[in-house]
Amino acid sequence: MTSAAIHSPPVAKASGAGQTIFQRNLRQFAANRLAMASVGVVLLFVLLAIFAPFIAPHDPNETDLFRRLQPPAWQAGGEWAYLLGCDALGRDILSRIIYGSRISIFIGAAVIFVATTVGIAAGLAAGYFRGWVDVAISRLVDILLSFPYLIFAIGLMAMMGPGLVNIILALAYKEWVIPCRVVRGETLATRELEYVEAARALGASSAHIMVKEILPNILSPVIVVSTIRIAHVIILEASLSFLGLGVQPPTASWGSMVADGRAFILGAWWVSTFPGLAILLLVLAINVASQGLRDAFDPRFQE
Amino acid sequence: MSHNENLLEVDGLRTVFDTSEGMVRAVDGVDVTVRRGECLGVVGESGSGKSVTFSSVMGLVRSPGRIESGSIRFEGRDLTRLSPREMRAIRGRDISMTMQDALTALNPALTVGEQLSEMLDAHDEDLPARGGARRRAIRDKSVEMLRLVGIPSPDSRLDQYPHEFSGGMRQRIMIAIALAPGPKLLIADEPTTALDVTIQAQVLELISEIRARLGMSVVLITHDLGVVAEHCDRVMVMYAGQVVEEGATVDVISNPQHPYTRGLLGSIPRLSLRGKPIRPIQGQVPNLVGLPPQCRFYSRCPDRTEACLQFVEMRNVGSDRRARCIALTQEEVA
């Protein structure tokens, strides 16, 4: 130990000073190995998506009729340059999966971003103001929840037509009710707490109370729910693409790749299987990671 | 601005709560006067309406409660007629309130410094308009406020969260936040209930000291007559939504006029009465739904008579002394 440390004044900062409950939870999350491995997988996919042009061995849309339904590299007739084989138009499946991750991750993140923003605003308003605001928002939420999600999204896509922005809108249209209900419930409980009353007694405005007093205290469950929902949204996007209502060809999307391989599933299993595995792996990783988040952030799961 | 020495004048305040069992008259015709620079003690058991009275003053009564009638004059302005926006400007800047439970009244997600500077940012008019100068001024003032309430090394503690402070410290911080904009009136709602006795004494001493230094008025809501005796100039005793006795603290304690006040004083353990049993007040506070118009203390009063079964108004019983008992003869006011 250096002499400076020995002679430091006795009023040295207490360990963990300035640490929020949020930071403490984050540290607990970091200690969960399985969850951290899942975060690693998710990050890997995110990196694939961002750097797709540098990582993908081939142009995802380049067709080569001589390589129609070429099997993966380790099977007879395969080539190491086309690791996971080729589809019916001779396009490299690995490259298409790498480019497809862009669509899945971008749509998943965009839908959750839009839905969480809208949901937080609506949920705060409903829970804080109560009365007719709450009735209006909560009934709207109930109505939206009464539709089957996928059928609702299919209907919207049929009305608006395909396209990236339209998929995001179609999914966010209903997705916001999930964070909205969480936020509303938490707000109802939090608005009755003494520190909110104290803020009112000290002249704080409604907007101030909602954003500065209530929101920071209810953020943890919202973050947990939102991460879990990203996985759902990715599956929904894949479902829409599978049905041909998603991103239009030739843009690579995991859902449409699975759909493309259906006709050859007995002879060329790899065309559907590898994009399907990609969906499985990403969704599983997100779910395990969000489970870890919940364990760390939900006081009921704390030791 | 009014020219008299009364900072707050509440007149005939009635606050009611509509419940499924009927209308609860939590505050039923209460008059309060708070003079500039004085400390008024408000005493009464749970449910006597003391907190509701001052929540009404702050405009913090929420549905199903409402102010049915009465006026609340602060520096001559009737607060019941102000718009929510005007009322918000008065809360905090002119009238501040500290909550009963210091352990839950601070926001756990914000640092103490953030909570203090929000108050200053919203209400302090002496600060530079904007930018870094304003931020520095707010920071300096925050440090000064924490020092005022006796928090050691305030500069570093500003960046800590409420859970890193002890209960007494948090109560001090609450007081610091309430005092930050320099209010004319501080309503301290049971500021010491969650604290142990030594800390209680420190916090009350602190409030008295700051009151003297800043020249503000304090309303101290408590059920501890000992606290009132030590810190308050005047005292107001409430029972079942009404004021039953008020006057200078010395007079009320040495010569209580209302049987309820006598009962309260009789139920305090004293060293001089060692060996004698404490005499508690028999019975319970009546249900506030559908009260008959008689004396509210009738069912528990040791001196009750037939005459008590009528409405009893406040009577003047000496200079600056009033009590609500039929047995007292109304004194002519000179």
* Superfamily of domain covering A41-301: MetI-like (1.10.3720.10)
Dist CA B265 CA B261 (whole Å): 6
Whether A24 contacts chain B with CB within 8 A: no
Whole-number CA gyration radius for chain A = 24
| Domain extents in chain A | 41-301
Q: How many residues does chain A have?
A: 303
Query: SS3 for A245-294, per residue?
Result: CCCCCCCCCHHHHHHHHHHHCCCCCHHHHHHHHHHHHHHHHHHHHHHHHH
CATH number of B1-94+185-271+278-291: 3.40.50.300
What's the pLDDT at A302? Answer: 53
Contact B241, B288 (CB under 8 A): yes
Contact B104 A193 (CB under 8 A): yes
Contact B118 A216 (CB under 8 A): no
Exposure on the CB side of residue B327, measured as CA atoms within 13 A: 14
Which residues in chain B touch residue A18, judged by CB atoms under 8 angstroms apart? 111, 159-161, 164
Dist CA A91 CA A66 (whole Å): 10
The owner of tokens 């340059």 is A81
Distance from CA of B109 to the nearest CA of A (A): 6
Q: Which two tokens stand for residue A85?
A: 């084989």
What's the pLDDT at B197? Answer: 78
Kindly provide the residue ranges of all beta strands, DSSP E only, lying in A70-166, ordered along the sequence: none
Contact A101, A108 (CB under 8 A): no
Reported ipTM: the value is 0.70
What's the pLDDT at A70? Answer: 80
The pairing of strands B95-98 and B185-189 is parallel
Contact B92, B123 (CB under 8 A): yes
Please tell me which residue, A21 or A151, carries the higher pLDDT value. A151
Whether B110 contacts chain A with CB within 8 A: yes
What's the pLDDT at A284? Answer: 94
Which three-class secondary structure state does DSSP give residue A237? helix
Closest CB to A202: pick one of B96, B104, B160: B96
Question: Which run of H or of E encompasses B11?
Answer: strand B6-19
Please tell me which residue, B126 or A247, carries the higher pLDDT value. A247
What's the average model confidence in pLDDT over A117-134? 93
Mean pLDDT of chain B: 84
| Domain extents in chain B | 1-94+185-271+278-291, 104-182
Contacts of B225 (CB under 8 A, 6+ apart): B43, B253, B264, B265, B268
Distance from CA of A210 to the nearest CA of B (A): 12
The structure's pTM equals: 0.75
What's the pLDDT at B215? Answer: 86
Whether residue A44 has pLDDT greater than 50: yes
| pLDDT band (50, 70, 90) for residue A115 | very high
Mean pLDDT of chain A: 84
Whether A201 contacts chain B with CB within 8 A: yes
| pLDDT band (50, 70, 90) for residue A78 | confident
Dist CA A261 CA A268 (whole Å): 8
Task: Provide the residue type at B227 as one letter.
Answer: V
For chain B, the farthest-separated pair of C-alpha atoms sits apart, in whole angstroms, at 72
| pLDDT band (50, 70, 90) for residue B248 | very high
What's the average model confidence in pLDDT over B112-123? 85
DSSP 8-state code for residue A301: G
Please tell me which residue, A281 or A303, carries the higher pLDDT value. A281
What's the pLDDT at A11? Answer: 39
| pLDDT band (50, 70, 90) for residue A66 | confident
Closest CB to B109: pick one of A18, A19, A216: A216
- Of B198, B195, B176, B199, nearest to B186 (Cα)? B176
Chain B contacts in chain A segment 80-99 (CB below 8 A):
none
Please tell me which residue, B329 or B62, carries the higher pLDDT value. B62
Q: Which tens digits make up the pLDDT trace of B158-177?
A: 888 888 888 888 888 888 88
Dist CA A181 CA A185 (whole Å): 6
Whether residue A122 has pLDDT greater than 90: yes
| pLDDT band (50, 70, 90) for residue B186 | very high
Whether residue A14 has pLDDT greater than 60: no
Dist CA A171 CA A164 (whole Å): 11
Which residues in chain B touch residue A208, judged by CB atoms under 8 angstroms apart? 118, 122
Query: SS3 for B225-292, per residue?
Result: HHHHHHHCCEEEEEECCEEEEEEEHHHHHHCCCCHHHHHHHHCCCCHHHCCCCCCCCCCCCCCCECCC
Mutation site, B83, B107, B115, B117, interface A, largest A CB count within 10 A: B107
Closest CB to A203: pick one of B101, B107, B123: B123
Contact A18 B161 (CB under 8 A): yes
Contact B109 A20 (CB under 8 A): yes
What's the pLDDT at B304? Answer: 83
Distance from CA of A176 to the nearest CA of B (A): 25
Whether residue B42 has pLDDT greater than 90: yes
Contact A203 B91 (CB under 8 A): yes
Q: Which tens digits make up the pLDDT trace of B274-322?
A: 777 777 787 777 777 777 778 888 888 888 888 888 888 888 888 888 8
| pLDDT band (50, 70, 90) for residue B265 | confident
Question: Percentage of chain B surpassing pLDDT 90?
Answer: 13
Q: Which residues pair with B188 in a beta bridge?
A: B98, B220
What's the average model confidence in pLDDT over A108-122? 94
| pLDDT band (50, 70, 90) for residue A59 | confident
Pick left, alpha or beta for residue A119 (phi over 0 → left; psi -120 to 50 → alpha; otherwise beta): alpha
What's the pLDDT at A142? Answer: 92
Q: How many residues does chain B have?
A: 334
Q: Which residues pair with B18 in a beta bridge?
A: B23
Ordered strands of the B39-43 beta sheet? B95-98, B185-189, B217-222, B39-43, B234-239, B242-248, B322-323, B315-316
What's the pLDDT at B194? Answer: 67
Whether residue A17 has pLDDT greater than 50: no
Question: Percentage of chain A surpassing pLDDT 90?
Answer: 34
Q: Which residues pair with B42 in a beta bridge?
A: B221, B236
Contact A164, A102 (CB under 8 A): no
Q: Which tens digits make up the pLDDT trace of A175-226?
A: 999 999 999 999 999 988 888 888 888 888 888 899 888 998 888 889 888 9
Whether B121 contacts chain A with CB within 8 A: no
Question: Percentage of chain B surpassing pLDDT 70?
Answer: 96
